[in-house]
Amino acid sequence: MTVGELAFWFFLVPLAVSAGTTPLIRGLARRIGLLDHPDGESYKWHDRATPYLGGLPIILATSTIFVFGDLRGEAATKVQAMFVAAILCSLVGLLDDWRRIGAGPKMLGVLCGGLIVWWADVGTHLSSFTPLDLVLSLLWLAAITNAFNIIDNMDGVAAGVAGFASLSYFAVAVATDQPEFAMLTLSIAAACFGFLRFNFRPATIFLGDFGTMYLGLI
């Protein structure tokens, strides 16, 4: 695949999907009442009810790699496992956006997602002691996911950090000849940048736990 084809299918297409679907999903969130109300809480920067559900356009945009990407072999299995795990976590986050289920169930969702990616041999390998590596991998995923959740209260920060971090991982994937991960990371970056137009201050839509748990895990 040429650089031009890579840029078109895994950057421009996800960018367009994310930017094009975000206004529609924002309207859907308003209609179903999936809103974040400031309620006078000091850590919330917005002063009016703002739609959640910003994770959905990012998920739709990144899923285009399964339509246009030629995923094969062990690397494809890893990408698919990461996607499934991230979807699982995002659904737990969506439930929290809707009904406030608390930190315990959300952490359980992250741990289950972590076990899925560990099964696909994606994780930290710092020692020859497998249980220790598993624990470190799960702690890392929990920390990153929680960090994205925390910074989502600042307009544009979570999606911006995820976008630029994904570009960095894309550069590593290209340099180490990992095309499947190059497709994934480039599409994540594009999805985040397409969403950012609506998430900059004053944000008209938030990622919510739905989006932050997806980005944090994947």
Q: How many domains does the chain have?
A: 1
From the list 45, 35, 77, the residue with the least C-alpha distance to 210 is 35
If you search the block for the tokens 């996607």, which residue do you land on? Answer: 83
Lowest model confidence (mean pLDDT) among 31-35, 112-116, 126-130, 139-143 = 126-130
**pLDDT score recorded for residue 39:** 61
Q: How far apart are CA 155 and CA 153, in angstroms?
A: 6
pTM: 0.87
pLDDT interval class at 44 (50, 70, 90): low
Mutual angle of helices 55-62 and 73-99, in 10-degree steps:
170
If you search the block for the tokens 């002063």, which residue do you land on? Answer: 47
pLDDT interval class at 58 (50, 70, 90): very high
From the list 165, 204, 157, 161, the residue with the least C-alpha distance to 184 is 165
Neighbouring CB atoms inside 10 A of 172's CB total 12
> Would you mind telling me the total number of residues written for the chain in this entry?
218
Q: Mean per-residue pLDDT for 113-132?
A: 78
- Expressed as residue numbers, the domain containing 195 is 3-217
Neighbouring CB atoms inside 10 A of 77's CB total 16
For residue 80, count CB atoms less than 10 angstroms from its CB and return exposed for 0-12, middle for 13-18, buried for 19 or more: middle
